[in-house]
Structure 1
Amino acid sequence: MADSALSAAGPGAARRWQQLPAVARVALIYVVARVVTALFFLLAAQLSGVDSRFGVAPSIADLVLAWDSRWYWIVAETGYPADLPLTESGAIAENQWAFMPIYPYLAKLVSLPFGQWAVGAFLVSITAGFAASYVLYLLMREKLAAPAAMWSVVFFACGPLAGLFQIGYAESLFLLWLFLSLLCIVRRHYAWLFLLIPLMGYTRPGVLAFALFLALFGIWRWFQRHREPMKPVEVVHIVALGLWAVIIGFSWQVIAGVVTGDAGAYLSTELAWRRNWIAGDAAFAPFDGFLAATSFWFGSMWGLSAEIGYVVLGLGVAAIAVALSIVPAVKKLGVEIRLWSASYLVYLLLVFFPQSSIFRLLVPLSPMWGAIAAPRSTPWRLSVLVACLLGQWWWIYNMFGLGNTVWQIP
């Protein structure tokens, strides 16, 4: 974006741009992107009408606190319930245990000088988003040339889900920990991960995907040890970190069980949201969420057969596997990014019930922007940027300007 515009402005402007430190270029890109996103939110608020979830012309503060942001705010103000709330039928109702503690309490700490949690949430999200953008640049530079790495940041900062950087959601903070963790793996700086894994685990669900990634990465390193020597200390680090990630990943369930006296408190809380989509008593089983959702969307919602949905799901999984295995632009990112992407997708297949929030759940795959940015064609990159901005407006308008139907939930 900036490279193309400055090239058109003249060689002097392009040279001055290139002479800026990378962190300054990332900052300028990020600021421009956040201004565009703010304009999108303002326009969505102006277009919000009586049929919108948010009413006529909601304030920006209303949008910052929309949807799951309100749950984080409740955590910050009241903590976690010792007595689980129940529905009229006696099932466990939606409650705070579905939301990890680091983001809401950090936002509360930051909000103290301002007196409003929403201000703290906004500042944490937007600051973490910038930090994540810069770490993403560093991560991409490990495998890509500087222009492609910077375009990866452009797509990330302007992407369809970039509105998350300006609302009270934990995604941007989780992405910061994730990108730092991946950078540590790529650079073989394992010790930092003993701190980063708990930060990930208590910011947002997903650390179990990182445990799977560490297992696959350890296996790959073992078979590649003749090309890159693998010292015993590295073996110890990878095994210990994998176990640490598993412990952290399951610890929140244990904590919820101890506090509430119900060993299934966390899983029952997560399944409470699933009952909004499918009738009957929801129960957890690996892969069941995707299979049930495939039947729901293709059968109940779209009037097609569930069998068609299962075929589409299978073809989609196969296509992603092929892309991660053989597509040159993806392979250029390195085995670490590819193994993380595969691990996270397997994790989603195991635990998630896909609905409109699937777009947000895919944000941890953001390092894959590098594969989109790798082609050197300026028209291609500009076309992708336009598509990103159009997608961002569509997401903000539907989720925050409207939000009044089943597929408009972020």
Structure 2
Amino acid sequence: MAERVLTSGSTSPWRSTVRGWARLPVTGRIAIVYLLARLVTTGFLVLAGTLSTSASRFGVDPTLGEYVLGWDAQWYWWVAENGYPQTLPRTPSGEVTENAWAFMPVYAYLAKFAGFGDWGAGALLISLAAGFLACLALHRLLRPRIGAGAAMWAVVFFANGPLAALFQVGYAETLFVLLLLVALDLASRHRYPLLYLMIPVMGFTRPGILAFALFLGLHGISRWLRRGREPLPVRDMVHIVALGALATVVGFSWQVIAGVVTGDPGAYLKTELSWRRNWLAEPSPEFFPFEGFVRGAEFWARQWGMPAWAGWILLIALVVGLALMLLRARSVRRLGIDIRLWSASYLLYLLAVFFPQSSTFRLLMPLTPLVGALAVPRSRAYRWGMLVVCLLLQWLWILAMYAMAQTYWQVP
């Protein structure tokens, strides 16, 4: 009898841990997940430093601080310390070269303010804090769509994902993703007034606000088509139209500002196109929508030993595949119409304005809401296996972009 009482009253350590975890508030659970993820990423970066050689961009035994200030972080630091050039730098043949106009001011100056003059410390603080808040925002956005448990797994995948190093370096991506997730949540809840404040901040954090303008247009059309099932007050329609116009104006305003300051109306686009000369022997001197991905498809086909037309076929297959995923995949459909419309808008934006290269992986970070499709209720083995895949891809990305970092395809 005594043995049965002891047995029935005992609780395994695993069950106690699970029950204790369940009793924690959501914010506490996300904080633990995020802290553990950052410790793992730190370990990966330290390991990358030990593998770095004199052939690497970072040299032998680089510190974590050097990684924080590496690659594009140098441009944000330059903006914070020196501002933007009034005269565009040019090659001997007169072509505009890489310069600070390609980098928006919000993250650059916010990092300097947060670090009390120590830009690197401020950049690390902003990226870390924005990453944690983005995890909270992601959970809030996904919970009504896929449930609390799946939303928590989505946070786990996001915090430990292939691009998780961006939470700990001087890039604007995590801040932009935080603002984006909040903005998508506000739009999906029809709380439009707050977006008047958020859109300008998003627009001057990193490129992408024109994709949000397209999303707002599609969001408005979607609400109009569903007005018989879901009320569409006139004030909401006015807000949607006004916010779409605001996002469009903000999206083009940086080009106007760069043109006024430098005296060259094409200053911003010429600056962006200057990066393509690292990849193409004869890039187009003018910007044409969608040309970047078409030229990129040809470039990569040749790099892989295939004819140019094979690149076009691969590009068409990629576009069709993405469209089918957004339209037909059951796990993606569970995320709701607004997340799918945003994803379509941003993918179309990327196709229209960017040249595909190693940085394209980083540019996919605003598609973070789609991580919810990987976390919909499935087996425990699947979810833990997906976490292992995330960590493996994260290490490979850090290894290529920070430990090795010496060839044209190793630019984060």
Distance 1:304 1:10 in 2: 54
Give the unaligned 5+ runs of structure 1: 1-6
Asked if 1:404 corresponds to 2:397, the answer is no
Q: Equivalents in 1 of 2:382, 2:13: separation in Å?
A: 20
Query: Shift of the alpha carbon at 1:256?
Result: 0.5
User: Residue 14 of structure 2 is aligned with which of 10, 13, 19?
Assistant: 10
Pair 1:341 & 2:343 matched: yes
The CA deviation string for residues 74-103 of structure 1, in whole angstroms up to 9 with x for no partner, is: 000000011111112211111000000000
Distance across 1 between alignment mates of 2:44 and 2:357: 24
Shift of 1:315: 1.0
RMSD: 1.1
Which residue is equivalent to 2:301? 298
> Which of 83, 90, 102 matches 1:86?
90
Counterpart in the other structure of 1:102: 106
CA distances 1:94-131 after superposition (whole Å, capped 9, x unpaired): 1000000000100000111xx52111100000100000
Q: TM-score, normalised by structure 2?
A: 0.96
- Structure 2 contact 276–283 (Cα < 8 Å) conserved: no
Query: What secondary structure does 2:409 align onto?
Result: coil
CA shift digits 1:144-202 (9 cap, x unpaired): 11110000000000000000000000000000100000000111111111111111100
Q: Percent identity?
A: 55
CA distance in 2, matches of 1:392, 1:11: 31
The corresponding residue for 1:272 is 274
Q: Deviations over 1:187-225 (max 9, x none)?
A: 111111111111110000000000011111111110000
Q: After the TM superposition, which residues 236-275 of structure 1 pair with which residues of structure 2 at under 5 Å, given as runs?
A: 236-275=238-277
- Match for 2:324: what amino acid? V
The aligned amino acid for 2:299 is F
Q: Tell me the CA shift for residue 280 of structure 1.
A: 2.2
Aligned residue for 1:177, secondary structure, equals helix
The TM-score, its normalising length taken from structure 1, stands at 0.96
CA distance in 2, matches of 1:360, 1:194: 27
1:379 corresponds in structure 2 to 381
Number of the residue aligned with 1:43: 47
1:355 equivalent to 2:357? Answer yes
Tell me: CA distance 1:8–1:250, structure 2 relative to 1, closer, same or farther (3 Å): farther
CA–CA distance in structure 2, aligned partners of residues 312 and 8 of structure 1: 53
Match of 1:75 in 2: 79
Query: Which stretches in structure 2 are left out of the alignment for 5+ residues?
Result: 1-10
Aligned to 1:21, which of 13, 19, 25?
25
Aligned residue pairs total 401
- Contact in 1 for aligned 2:45/2:398 (Cα 8 Å): yes
Aligned residue in 2 for 1:118: 120
Q: Distance in 2 between matches of 1:8 and 1:180?
A: 40
Q: Distance in 1 between matches of 2:262 and 2:224?
A: 43
Q: How far does residue 316 in structure 1 lie from its aligned partner after superposition?
A: 1.1
3-state DSSP of counterpart to 1:275: helix
Deviates more, 1:154-163 or 1:370-379: 370-379
SS of structure 2 residue aligned to 1:196: helix
